[in-house]
Amino acid sequence: MEIISGGVCAPLGFIANGIHCGIRKNKSKRDLALILSSCDCAASAVYTTNKVKGAPLTVTKRHLADGVARAIICNSGNANTCNANGIEVAEYTCAQLAQRLGVEKDKIVVASTGVIGQPLDPTPIVSGLDELIGGLTDDGSQRAAEGIMTTDTVLKEVAVSFNIGGVECKMGGIAKGSGMIHPNMATMLVFITTDCAITSELLDKALKSDIRNSFNMVSVDGDTSTNDCVCVLANGMADNRKITEEGDDFATFMKALNTVTVSLCRMIAADGEGATKMLECKVSGAVDEANAKIIAKSVICSSLVKAAMFGSDANWGRVLCAIGYSGAEVDVSGVGVSFKSRAGEIEVCKDGAGIDFSEDVAKQVLLEDEIVIDITLTDGEATACAWGCDLTYDYVKINGDYRT
């Protein structure tokens, strides 16, 4: 497994682009993105668990019923959610794009992100399609990544190279996500491409298995969005032996997918709205995986823990508090807590009780921009990991006037 450049254009047969079409007022911001495969792809997607869902999700789910797709189009600046004509707008967008690409409308994945409850006029999107298509290139991943950003401060992309049966395959991904991020998906849009040949059934199984330990373990602010979607396209152009059953090849594919998804998870967590620090909570020694995940998520979601991390305050009692109300099966008398960063490591709690430690050293550890909250238990051997960020003054500023 090797990290490479190229994002969603790293795999063979994929081109992409992103432009400003006029949805967003700031003309320097791209607001429309397109990813296109040169041939049909096995496709799979997972969607938000929120009962209020963006219209594009309904359309995409319908289009992916047969497990086949060719292109992904996404706009930013408007979520196309809670609109009376939202589905019609999403379908119209797909139809206009399909006509210009010469593909079937049902092979288009459509997504939107931005403000909820604002009517989406498709005119700017349709007017921009010729420019969007005309600018498609095999180095367009960054432009596409910029086109799906909202309050994100950095673009998010990654790619890997891996080997299936002696054949090099590649996988790449782009993501957007900064706020309204909480376990069980979020205002996350993630688009992943691969040239590996795999059946749509196994691709679907791989994605649904992976998100339990990746995107469902990310939280920025405790809000579950209406529009999140993770979609994977596999066009098979690497010409490897097609993965048709579970085994070594499928395991390698799963490892590549998890490398991409975890990398994007960390980027999303680090770029949380107003965030200054990426938090990673590692739990070991839990009675089982389910309980390990409950604990990791509870700690990463705690507003008091997040605020303490913002202030570089080694307030380990807040970590134990979050463990205690999590509902997990745990022997609190066996809990240990350490904080880690590039500046070092400091143990602050052992056997469920405080121990002497240097506040000055702890402060230096917690001043770094990536912090690990390491929790050790004595209940079993299960582990889990969750990602989040600190809670800052700027989070309130950003969301206080997000719509206006």
pLDDT tens track, the chain, 404 positions = 999 999 999 999 999 999 999 999 888 999 999 999 999 999 999 998 778 788 999 999 999 999 999 999 999 999 998 999 999 999 999 999 999 999 999 999 999 998 888 999 999 999 999 999 999 999 999 999 999 998 888 899 999 999 999 999 999 999 997 654 444 444 579 999 999 999 999 999 999 999 999 988 988 655 566 778 999 999 999 999 999 999 999 999 999 999 999 999 999 888 877 889 999 999 999 999 999 999 999 999 999 999 999 999 999 999 999 999 999 999 999 999 999 999 999 999 999 999 999 999 999 999 999 999 999 999 999 999 999 999 988 878 877 776 66
Domains of the chain: 2-270 (3.60.70.12), 278-400 (3.10.20.340)
User: Residues 197, 201, 205, CA angle at the centre, nearest 5°?
Assistant: 100
Cα distances (Å, whole numbers) of residue 26 to 17, 31, 293: 18, 9, 40
Please choose, from the candidates 121, 125, 91, the residue with its C-alpha nearest in 3D space to the C-alpha of residue 108.
Answer: 91
The catalytic position among 48, 60, 113, 187 is 187
Among residues 73, 68, 91, the alpha carbon closest in space to that of 21 is found at 73
276 assigned to active site: no
- Confidence (pTM): 0.89
Contact 262, 158 (CB under 8 A): no
Contacts of 75 (CB under 8 A, 6+ apart): 21, 23, 31, 32, 33, 111, 112, 113, 114, 120, 125, 147
What CA–CA distance (Å, rounded) separates 277 from 270? 6
